[in-house]
Amino acid sequence: MNSFTTPWGEFDLARFPEDPRDPLRAWDAADEYLLRHLHGSDGEPTGLPEPAGTVAVVGDRWGALVTALARHRPVQITDSFLTQEATRANLARNGLAADSVRLLSTRDTPPDRIDVLLIRVPKSLALLEDQLHRLAPRLHEGTLVVGTGRVTEIHTSTLKLFERLVGPTRTSLAVKKARLIFCTPDPGIQRPANPWPHRYALPDGIGVISGRTVTNHAGTFCAERLDIGTRFFLPRLPRHAEPERIVDLGCGNGVVGTAAALANPRAEVLFIDESYQAVASAEATFRENAGPGTTAEFQVGDGLAAVPPQSVDLVLNNPPFHSHQATTDTTAWRMFTGSRRALRPGGELWVIGNRHLGYHVKLRRLFGNCEVVASDPKFVILRAVKR
């Protein structure tokens, strides 16, 4: 936890889940720059009006922005379950009422009218495109629109997207490697149709799911095409015939869990991801491809935290090794420990990962065993059994 100094006071903030050993803060220079601008202390002629009306904050990564702006009762719009949990925790630790911020996901209907739109530019340009399509009709001529991000996150394509979907756009000077985007809504703008969700057919040679069509909402991992790691994993998934409970952990577009359901129609598959866009994609993919009588659940959550202990037979996992701009194995470790807790004795965790990540060391430490199922020069498939 660290103290975040803003024009509206100091706030103790932490990421979620909170880890005292984590040196990363719950905010950065882009958040600071945006708040100084809204306060009018950066020299720009415009700032946050009083009263502000409906303030919508998109992509606030750990709730730093909405916590600082809680007096304006903002609406937070995020694709991340962990962001929502961080926001709740940060409001509580600063003595702010839980209802001072309205939490919406990127799948929820936005407010009818938005008077101030603040956007933390996401890593995914597709997610930004989808959100601007959804939000632009809620803006009016007087809406204050400000984006923020690090200079490495704001590209010409980012600015063109604002220009094409919202209105005239300019940027600020860079301060501490952060930049602001100023956009003036044009009510008469002619927007193209929203291209999301995107659907594509899977290639041949990847097992039972070959040739099937997958649905990808914006921001989902590998939304344009099947990634090479999953392509390696799919034809090598375990084949069981008996009834079992399977978890597609970090499900993305659900292609792995759907393949498992096709291979074993007697299985019950639980799709879990912390991304609302991903879980919506997984559900669409499963519904289109699953055979009659197959059952599935879809859960947005913090890994396996909400899954009862010893209730799962098989976990299939392609863990991420990036959290925003940080390269870390923290998420993978939490997925592995959660899997061990959720698995029944004799249950199995199957992991696909880059060879250099060394997941076998962690799995042997946690499970007491780890077997290499298959490998190539880039990827390795590992199997650990709960004893």
pLDDT in tens, 195-244: 999 999 999 999 999 999 999 999 999 888 999 999 999 999 998 889 99
Two tokens at 81?
């379950």
214 neighbors 206 (Cβ within 8 angstroms): no
318 neighbors 351 (Cβ within 8 angstroms): yes
Confidence of residue 368 (pLDDT cuts 50, 70, 90): very high
Confidence of residue 46 (pLDDT cuts 50, 70, 90): low
**CA 85, CA 328: separation in Å to the nearest integer?**
20
**CA 213, CA 202: separation in Å to the nearest integer?**
6
Q: What is the pTM of this model?
A: 0.95
pLDDT tens readout for residues 76-116: 999 999 999 999 999 999 999 999 999 999 999 999 999 99
- Which of 271, 224, 217, 274 minimizes the C-alpha distance to 61? 274
Q: Is the dihedral of CA 282, 120, 177, 6 positive or negative?
A: negative
In the Cβ-directed half-sphere of 138, how many Cα atoms lie within 13 Å?
18
- Report the Cα 186 to chain-centroid distance in Å: 30
Q: Is the dihedral of CA 167, 170, 175, 177 positive or negative?
A: positive
pLDDT of residue 58: 98
**CA 66, CA 120: separation in Å to the nearest integer?**
12
Angle CA 103–137–156, to nearest 5: 90
Domains of the chain are: 2-183 (3.40.50.150), 198-385 (3.40.50.150)
The angle, 0 to 180 degrees and rounded to 10, between the axes of the packed helices 276-289 and 255-263 is 30
157 neighbors 176 (Cβ within 8 angstroms): no
pLDDT of residue 48: 85
Q: Is the dihedral of CA 182, 186, 192, 194 positive or negative?
A: positive
Residue 41 has pLDDT above 80, yes or no: no
Cβ burial, residue 192 (10 Å; 0-12/13-18/19+): exposed
Residue 312 has pLDDT above 90, yes or no: yes
pLDDT of residue 324: 45
Residue 352 has pLDDT above 80, yes or no: yes
Cβ burial, residue 158 (10 Å; 0-12/13-18/19+): buried
273 neighbors 251 (Cβ within 8 angstroms): yes
Task: Please provide the distance, in angstroms rounded to a whole number, between the alpha carbons at the two ends of the chain.
Answer: 37
Out of 71-80, 284-293, 316-325, least confident range = 316-325
Out of 32-46, 188-202, 208-222, 251-265, least confident range = 32-46
- Which of 181, 81, 78 minimizes the C-alpha distance to 131? 78
Residue 328 has pLDDT above 80, yes or no: no
Residue type, 55: V
